[in-house]
Amino acid sequence: MAKLPPRQRKRWRHEVASFGYALQGIREALLSEPHLRFHALATAAAVALGAWLGISRYDWALVALSIGAVWTAELMNTAVETIIDLVSPDFHPLAGRAKDVAAGAVLMTALAAVVVGLLVFGPPLWALLAR
What CATH number does residue 75 fall under?
A: 1.10.287.3610
Residue 120's alpha-carbon distances to 35, 43, 53, 125, in angstroms, are: 23, 14, 10, 9
> Using one digit for the tens of pLDDT, what is the confidence trace for 28-56?
999 999 999 999 999 999 999 999 999 99
Query: In this model, does residue 1 exceed pLDDT 70?
Result: no
Residue 38, pLDDT score: 96
Quick one: 40 and 25 in the same domain?
Answer: no
Active site residue 33: no
Query: In this model, does residue 112 exceed pLDDT 90?
Result: yes
Quick one: 70 and 87 in the same domain?
Answer: yes
Q: Residue 118's domain spans which residues? A: 34-129
Quick one: 51 and 22 in the same domain?
Answer: no
Query: Which one from 15, 28, 74, 81 is the annotated catalytic residue?
Result: 74
**Residues 106, 75: contact at Cβ < 8 Å?**
no
Quick one: 64 and 115 in the same domain?
Answer: yes
Quick one: 109 and 74 in the same domain?
Answer: yes
Single pTM value for the model: 0.86
Quick one: 110 and 56 in the same domain?
Answer: yes
Query: In this model, does residue 4 exceed pLDDT 90?
Result: no
Quick one: 73 and 86 in the same domain?
Answer: yes
> Using one digit for the tens of pLDDT, what is the confidence trace for 66-103?
999 999 999 999 999 999 999 999 999 999 999 999 99
Chain center to CA of 26:
9
Provide the number of structural domains found in the chain.
2
